Structure 1
Amino acid sequence: MKTIYIVRHAKSSWEYDGIKDIDRPLKKRGINDAHLLSKILAKKLKKPDVFVSSSANRALHTAVIFCENFDYPLSNLQIKRQLYSFSDGYLVKTVKALDDGFSSAIVFSHDHGINTFVNKFGNKPIAHVPTCGVIGIKFNEKHWKDIKKGTTVLVEFPKYHR
């Protein structure tokens, strides 16, 4: 049995001229939402075995906040440049390449890839995963590379808790 938690990075800022997209920081609201949701989930969920993040600043900052509130060592946070993608292709490849020693994982990524992933692999239609939204999907497979359709076991959005 494998469980994946997919997190869309928290709300980011567009207010800096000339900054590359990959370097965009979180807005204050994004920082607050990441703390809010990660504190709630840290009490509700068993700590995932591995944390994996896109290398984009906004995803990485979200992951760092989750690590802090889940008491997960930052030195163990895996950073994957290929997750800085807006299709589900690299997200699927990243999840399917996870070490089978991990029964659960939390992955921090981006908008379009997440929406496609959770609808392709989960059994609950989700029209749109908002910033800092977290979707959990449980799979009956023994190996990450074999995951197919799973069961959506968690849908958490910051607006549910504000």
Structure 2
Amino acid sequence: MKTLYIVRHAKSSWEYTSVKDHDRPLKERGINDAHLISKVLAKKMQRPDVFIASSANRALHTGIIFCENFGYPMANLKISKQLYNFSDGYLTKTVKALDDSFDSAIIFSHDHGINFFVNKFGNKPIAHVTTCGVIGIQFDTKHWKDIKKGTTILVEFPKNYK
């Protein structure tokens, strides 16, 4: 059995017009939402075995906040440049390449691809994963490379706790 949690990065700021997209920071609301949802989830679920974040500032910062609230060593947070890729399939490739020694993983990524992934591999239709939304999918397999349709076990959005 493998369990995957996908987190769309928290709300980012468009205030800094001279900053490259990759470097856009989180807004204060995004920081607050990431703390809120990660604290709630840290009480509700077991800590995933591995944390992986896109190299983009907003996803990486979201991942760091989750590490802090889950008690996961930030030094072990894996950073993936591939997750900052807006073509279809980047998320699937990342998941299928996970080491089988991990039974659970949490990935911090971007809007493009997340909705496609959770609807392709989960069994619960989700119209839109909001910023800092977390979707959990469980797969009946021993190997990440073999994932097929799984069971959606978690759908959480910060607005549910405000």
Which category of TM-score, normalised to the shorter sequence, fits these structures?
A: over 0.9
**2:89 aligns to what SS in structure 1?**
helix
Unaligned runs of 5+ in 1: none
- Aligned counterparts, 1:26-41, within 5 A: 26-41=26-41
Q: Does 1:96 align with 2:91?
A: no
Matching residue's letter, 2:40: I
Alignment partner, residue 49 of structure 1: 49
Matched-pair identity in %: 78
Matching residue's letter, 1:130: T
**2:68 aligns to what SS in structure 1?**
helix
CA contact (8 A) 1:38 1:65 kept: yes
TM-score by length of 1: 0.99
- Aligned counterparts, 1:51-66, within 5 A: 51-66=51-66
**RMSD (Å), alpha carbons:** 0.6
Q: Deviation string for 1:53-85 (max 9, x for gaps)?
A: 000000000000000000000111000001002
Unaligned runs of 5+ in 2: none
Matching residue's letter, 1:99: D
**1:152 aligns to what SS in structure 2?**
strand
Matching residue's letter, 2:150: G
Alignment partner, residue 160 of structure 2: 160
TM-score by length of 2: 0.99
Distance 1:28 1:114 in 2: 23
Distance 1:17 1:144 in 2: 39
**1:129 aligns to what SS in structure 2?**
coil
List structure 1 runs of 4+ shifted beyond 3 angstroms.
none
Number of aligned residue pairs: 162
Matching residue's letter, 1:143: H
Distance 2:73 2:51 in 1: 9
Q: Deviation string for 1:101-138 (max 9, x for gaps)?
A: 00000000000210100000000000000000000000
**1:128 aligns to what SS in structure 2?**
coil
CA contact (8 A) 1:95 1:144 kept: yes
